[in-house]
Structures are given as structure tokens and as C-alpha cells.
Copies of this chain bind each other. A is one copy, B any other.
Amino acid sequence: MADPLSTVFAALADPTRRAILNMLLEDDMAVTDVAEPFQMSLAAISKHLATLADAGLISRERRGRVIWCKLEPDALRNASVWMQGFGQFEPVDLDAFERFLETELATEFADDSPAAPD
């Protein structure tokens, strides 16, 4: 299909998928458990997981009835490295980091929160 870098970035360009990655950061999870906090259907989450797996960001392994999803940081690292190539000429600004984290916590948790807004 598309080049790997495009696939990874496209996979990251969705708050639901980034939230899933965040969840998988804590632990491997079954598809149903991944889907549980979200409002959308299981099929939708299944598609998101397929997208993440296509990008190499996660792997899925069937064990009995349940399919376990596991973070695969390698693809992410490639993209990160690509970015660092750009950022290279200017070192990471830790102040900007903190400022970013604040705004990101605000927006991301508003947009991505798996908790139903009800």
C-alpha cells in the first residue's frame, strides 16, 4: 500500500487510536477490553486495531477465544527517529515540553477520553 512512514503517521492521526496505544502502554489487552471504555461499536474498535496492526504499532495474538493486543514500539520509533531528524537542528526545549503536556492533557483528555461523556 503506502510507504511505512505514511501508514504509521496516518495511524497516529486519530485520537481514538492514540488513546488505544496509551491503554496498551499499561498492559496487553483483549479486544473487548480495549473497546469497553469507548462509545463506539466493537467493530469500529476492531477496525482501529487493524489499522494499528497494519502500521506495525501493535500485534494481535489469538489465545483461545480472546485476541490479545500488544504494543509494538518499533514502528513508532522509526517515525520518532524521522522526526528527530527534523528537530535535530534545534534541541528539544523542555519548557515547551511542559507547556505542551499541559495543553495536550487538556485537549487529548477532552477528545480522546475513553470515558463516556454522559
- Which of the segments A30-38, A40-48, A60-68, A88-96 contacts the partner chain? A88-96
Chain A interface size band reads: 35 or more
Q: Which of B5, B89, B103 contacts A18 (CB 8 A)?
A: B5
B-side contacts of A101, CB under 8 Å: 81, 85
Q: Chain copies in the assembly? A: 2
**Contact in complex: A21, B76 (CB < 8 Å):** no
**A10 closest partner in B (C-beta):** B13
Instruction: Type the 1/0 row for A71-111, where 1 means its CB is closer than 8 Å to any CB of B.
Output: 10110111111111111011011001100110110011001
Contact B77 A87 (CB under 8 A): yes
Q: Which residues on the B side are within 8 Å of A83 (C-beta)?
A: 76, 79-80, 83
Shortest distance in angstroms between A87's beta carbon and chain B's nearest beta carbon? 5
- Quick one: which of B2, B25, B92 contacts A80, CB cutoff 8 A? B92
Complex-state Cα separation, A90 to B73, whole angstroms? 8
Task: Tell whether, in the assembled complex, residue B96 and residue A87 are in contact, meaning their CB atoms are under 8 Å apart.
Answer: no
Contact of B78 with A87 in the complex, beta carbons under 8 Å? no
* Interface residue A14 (Cβ < 8 Å from any Cβ of B): yes
A81 CA / B6 CA spacing, docked (Å): 19
